[in-house]
Structure 1
Amino acid sequence: MTPARNERVVLITGTSSGIGLHAAIAAGRAGHTVVATMRDLEGARALRDAASDAQVSLDIRRLDVTEHQSVAEVVAETIARHGRLDAVINNAGSGRLGTIENETVDDVRAVMEVNFFGVVALTRAALPHLRGTRGRLITVSSVGGVIGQPFNEAYCAAKFAVEGFMESLAPVAATAGVSVTVVEPGAVASSFVANVGRDSSQSGPANDPYAAELEAYLARAATSFGSAQSARSAGEVVADLLDGDRPAFRVQTSDSARQFAAVKLSDLDGSAVQRMTAAWLG
């Protein structure tokens, strides 16, 4: 099945919920051919229900971005079925809440595998096809890829790596006609927040020297996410980048995300960021 040329064939990761789900639905509504992927197809019900409600057809496939064979197979299957690949939205991700003294190196490595190396693997597999269509490479980062945040060391490290990778790749890819964009949401109301690798009902290690600061951070985070942007709104921002003029390299999904990122981008010595984040620890 080859789509009409005015449509885009777009491969999206992490579509079982949140931003990825809503980006897939919005892209489908816009008339694009959407290959919507997720690590476990048993979690596809919410996406299938949303697609049915929106009256859009999606090509739903399994993709674990940490498995090289899975990445290669999905890209090959997309080309075989749809004839080309016009855009990739790297959205799959996982969080981790904690500080390194209470974590293991393997904990950090696992976060890097999903959030960074998964992005690298799919980008590498997709680029030859995106060159052929002069396509778009869109990666959902985070304001946590701009400003390091307490107790998010592994997650922010991975998102910083994504931003450095994409910022370095962008001018090279542009010479082959491929545009590169990183999307930086702020607080978004989604199940991602509930899956950050820590059950807030469980206590930390005995005599944890950071216990009070962590509780202060969690209280502040709860307030922040109480007024979070909806996943639907953020997903629609992502999907909109598929159409029209080629987007900027860096795109925030809300006014609050723009204001937050602006603190770092005008903070040459880092003192403003340190004052701001230190205040979150009470």
Structure 2
Amino acid sequence: MPSPKTVLITGTSSGIGLAAAVTAARAGWTTIATMRDAAKAQPLLEAAAEHGVADRIHVKHLDVVDAESIAACLDEVIAEHGRLDALINNAGAAQVGTIEQGSLDDVRAAMEVNFFGVVATTRAALPHLRAARGRIITVSSVGGAIGQPFNEAYCAAKFAVEGFMESLAPVAATVGVDVVVVEPGAVASEFVTNLSLDVPALLDAAGPYAPALNAYIARTQQSFGNAQSPAEAAAPIIEALAGDRPAFRVQTSAWARDFVGTKLTDLDGSAVQNLTSTWVR
């Protein structure tokens, strides 16, 4: 009997990553669930046990901004399982702010996790994925298609991820590797909670941007009140993982498809600007 296919997923301690790990295991994949802090694995392990897939989920340490960590994790995976058939780049970090009041270090930190971490993990995994004729799936965001107010650094990183993957896709295809980007909208997960935003302090420090920031926060709180669950957002990821010929770009909801569609048909940029300007008024 052939050995089960193996998928490595980054950022699985909560949210979409946790849900994707459990869903992949339920679909029969040997699932390497990685996270920066393995001490945070308990919610994942409990969910795996609840769904009867604890034996298919293997938690490992992997920090996407640490090249040695990436290499060590991949070496362990190949030593223990003999193959890597898919990589799901999910680890990421949100950031809220505008450049005049932030720092270049803030921007660099956002790029390091959300862009360079994806590039580094993809680069390290590609020889194994090439050998397996496997698949790279990267969790981007609707913010990888449409720039959003007070998300300059985050959206810049996601734009960069999508440009990188869109350019890589035809090249990877020549050696049998499929490339997919997945664009969720609002997802009710700890990704946003982990920002630990002190809204009153942010507004106090916002100076001339306070009215726009207040409007943006109000709109964002409303949108996350109607958010997808992590499991709903993870389902299209696993469909792309298992499908025969996945599309390059996949949205996780009808709302996300409509929202991204605004950008893809907006040749002069006016439709996006007219839309997002209402978020800060």
TM-score (structure 2 length as normaliser)? 0.97
Q: Deviations over 1:219-261 (max 9, x none)?
A: 0011111101111111122122221312100000000000000
Shift in CA distance, 127/207, structure 1 to aligned 2, threshold 3 Å: closer
Aligned position for 2:115:
116
Aligned position for 1:280:
279
| Corresponding position: 1:17 with 2:26 | no
Q: Deviations over 1:167-211 (max 9, x none)?
A: 000000000000000000001110111223632242346461101
Q: Percent identity?
A: 63
- Equivalent positions of 1:110-149 (< 5 A) are 110-149=109-148
Aligned position for 2:236:
237
Aligned position for 2:210:
211
Aligned position for 1:44:
41
Letter in 2 for 1:208: G
Aligned position for 1:266:
265
Judge conservation of contact 1:97–1:197 (CA < 8 Å) in 2: no
Letter in 2 for 1:114: V
Letter in 2 for 1:8: K
Judge conservation of contact 1:95–1:197 (CA < 8 Å) in 2: no
Shift in CA distance, 253/207, structure 1 to aligned 2, threshold 3 Å: closer
Judge conservation of contact 2:203–2:213 (CA < 8 Å) in 1: no
How far apart are residue 6 of structure 1 and its match? 6.7
Q: Distance in 2 between matches of 1:153 and 1:120?
A: 20
Aligned position for 2:186:
187
TM-score (structure 1 length as normaliser)? 0.96
More helix by share: 2
3-state secondary structure, aligned to 2:222: helix
Q: Distance in 2 between matches of 1:250 and 1:218?
A: 28
3-state secondary structure, aligned to 2:199: coil
Structure 1, unmatched stretches of 5+, are none
Residue 54 (structure 1) aligned to one of 26, 51, 55:
51
Q: Distance in 2 between matches of 1:75 and 1:265?
A: 36
When the two chains are superposed, the root-mean-square deviation of aligned CA atoms in Å is 1.2
Q: Deviations over 1:48-85 (max 9, x none)?
A: 10011011121100110000000011111100000000
Aligned position for 1:226:
225
Judge conservation of contact 1:96–1:197 (CA < 8 Å) in 2: no
Q: Distance in 2 between matches of 1:255 and 1:154?
A: 26
Aligned position for 2:32:
35
Shift in CA distance, 94/197, structure 1 to aligned 2, threshold 3 Å: farther
3-state secondary structure, aligned to 1:74: helix
Q: Distance in 2 between matches of 1:203 and 1:189?
A: 22
Judge conservation of contact 2:70–2:124 (CA < 8 Å) in 1: yes
Shift in CA distance, 206/174, structure 1 to aligned 2, threshold 3 Å: closer
Aligned position for 2:102:
103
